[in-house]
Structure 1
């Protein structure tokens, strides 16, 4: 049975992108060679509410690649995969190709 987690409020479910451990030619890369901490947005909550109770929709969309903070987020395990939950304002930016 596959589960789908739908975040509440302004939370974002992210699957971290692991940097490659070796190049195409087979050269093994050191662990700290890639400092870019990025992930793919898997699910997005509906958004936060302001003081008047009006919904402020989330700006991120599923499938976007985002820059993540070095620390933070809540680790979530669904099946055999690890994900992280962040508040939308904790996400540092969107990475474009």
Structure 2
């Protein structure tokens, strides 16, 4: 993972997208056109608490989020999502 520098605004997180599965359990390769958008990732940057909401997510957490959550970013060839803490559905 690339060392990212910068600051995330309060209540926001930056998530590195975990790639979608390339093969099925039986070994069939899934073409790019048929893959679903990944809905999980690893948190790489976390903003501070909002005025009325504490930040519950930490760097290194694996999070699950909605299909259309966040804003897609490409930084140094890696895919990231910038999203609000409220977009996270589950922390693993």
TM-score of Structure 1 vs Structure 2, range by shorter chain: 0.7 to 0.9
Match of 2:9 in 1: 8
Number of equivalent positions:
88
Specify which of 65, 69, 75 is matched with residue 68 of structure 1.
65
What secondary structure sits across from 1:49 in the alignment?
coil
Specify every segment of 5 or more residues in structure 2 that has no aligned partner in the other structure, as ranges.
Answer: none
Task: Please list the CA deviations of residues 15-43 of structure 1 after superposition, one character each: whole Å capped at 9, or x if unmatched.
Answer: 111122026885424645x7862111111
Structural mapping, 1:8-27, within 5 Å: 8-22=9-23, 26-27=27-28
- Whether 2:50 is the aligned partner of 1:87: answer no
Whose radius of gyration is greater, 1 or 2?
Answer: 1
CA RMSD between the two structures: 2.5
Flag as ranges the 4+ runs of structure 1 deviating above 2 A.
22-27, 29-32
- TM-score normalized by structure 2? 0.76
Structure 1: distance between partners of 2:17 and 2:38: 11
In the superposition, the TM-score normalised over structure 1's length comes to: 0.73
User: Which residue matches 1:45?
Assistant: 47
| Post-superposition offset of 1:45 | 0.4
- Consecutive unaligned residues of structure 1, counting only runs of 5 or more, are 51-55
